[in-house]
Structure 1
Amino acid sequence: MAPSGMQRWNPFRKRPKDTTSGCSKEPLEATPLGLKVVVEGDDPVVDIIAVHGLNGHRDKTWTAANNVHWLRDLLSSDIPNARIFCWGYDANTHGGRMSCQYLYSHATTLVSELCSERSLTDTI
């Protein structure tokens, strides 16, 4: 029996997921999938959509150790009339789960979400 206040080790016990990035105190979404507006832009004339690579993360991919978000803090000042998005998809290639979607399916999902966003805002 484990001493009072200590849990007995169980290899099948689910471990709590880390919900914070290594550089930010803000909690990250449990499943960072889909389209996210990073910057609305000043009277936007173009959309920029950043897509992470394999094993990437919709938010962490664009954030440096000093908590500078490249899309929000740097790119937006260089292109103020751009609406900037980041898009997350299941790109896990290792571990207990792998993406079951094909590349075409990911692309279809991205285009569908972008069309929906554009129809809601009627810009660009």
Structure 2
Amino acid sequence: MATAMEAPTPVSDVGFTILSDPHDAVIDIVFVHGLQGHPQDTWTHKSEAARSPPGRAPSPSKVSKSDRPRTWNRLLPFGKSKRLEPQISEQVGVDQADGKGVGRVQEKDVFWPRDLLKDDFPMARIMTFGYDTRIIRGYHGANQGNIFSHARDLLYELEAQRRKGRDRHIIFIAHSLGGILVKEVLRRSETDPDQKIKKIYMSTAGIFKSRKELREFDWED
């Protein structure tokens, strides 16, 4: 008798959500979204149907570029060689206007950290951090305290998440304002007298920063 598929882990708007937690994890990968972002939506590539105007079939012009491989193997040697790309339907789409075929289309949303990355790096613990960006109105000095508050929450919550594996390396993947939060986290961690907090800075192996949300990417190198 076939077993039911496991339901995806719900992503919390605030705080950490663990997307993959293997017992033999050797590294923590932490996603931090940016201004007006979301811990899931920022890292989701929307389906062609969701991005196309009503009454018109999706265009294959962007997704066709997903044939190109994307891999971190040169950076993370424990990863498997897989292509990080959205799921593409082999069915041919039809333009409602002229009835002509438009090629392959992406059928569903792809949440990169959960749907692709955890399979490519089975020995990585993957988590996403969410925080309320609605209270931050731009980058004005009056709101600087909110940035520090979010950075403090990220630092101490991450320390709590790592109490069973403080020796694991950390890689941060940040979008926009998330990069500022990560820098503040590392600044605080480096100067903190508490060795448990300082361990965050000492364990950080790299930071990847993006200026665009993943849902806007064209999936090209």
TM-score, L = length of structure 2: 0.37
User: What amino acid maps onto 2:109 in structure 1?
Assistant: N
Q: Name the counterpart of 2:158.
A: 114
State how 1:1-124 maps to structure 2 within 5 Å. 32-41=13-22, 43-65=24-46, 66-92=108-134, 93=136, 101-119=145-163, 122-123=164-165, 124=168
Q: Deviations over 1:72-114 (max 9, x none)?
A: 11111222111000000111256xxxx7852222111001111
**Secondary structure of 2:158's aligned partner:** helix
Q: Which deviates more, 83-92 or 33-42?
A: 33-42
How far apart, CA to CA, are the structure 1 residues paired with 2:15 and 2:119?
Answer: 24
1:59–1:101 distance in 2 versus 1, CA, 3 Å: farther
User: What amino acid maps onto 2:42 in structure 1?
Assistant: T
1:100–1:32 distance in 2 versus 1, CA, 3 Å: farther
TM-score, L = length of structure 1: 0.62
How far apart, CA to CA, are the structure 1 residues paired with 2:145 and 2:39?
Answer: 17
Cα pair 1:42 1:82 within 8 Å, conserved: no
More helix by share: 2
The structure 1 segments of at least 4 consecutive aligned residues displaced by more than 2 Å after TM superposition are: 99-102
RMSD over aligned Cα atoms: 2.5
> What runs of 5+ residues in structure 2 fail to find an aligned partner?
1-7, 47-107, 138-142, 169-221
Q: Name the counterpart of 1:19.
A: none
How far apart, CA to CA, are the structure 2 residues paired with 1:100 and 1:115?
Answer: 23
The sequence identity of aligned pairs, in percent, is 38
How far apart, CA to CA, are the structure 1 residues paired with 2:161 and 2:19?
Answer: 13
Cα pair 1:48 1:85 within 8 Å, conserved: yes
Q: Name the counterpart of 2:80.
A: none
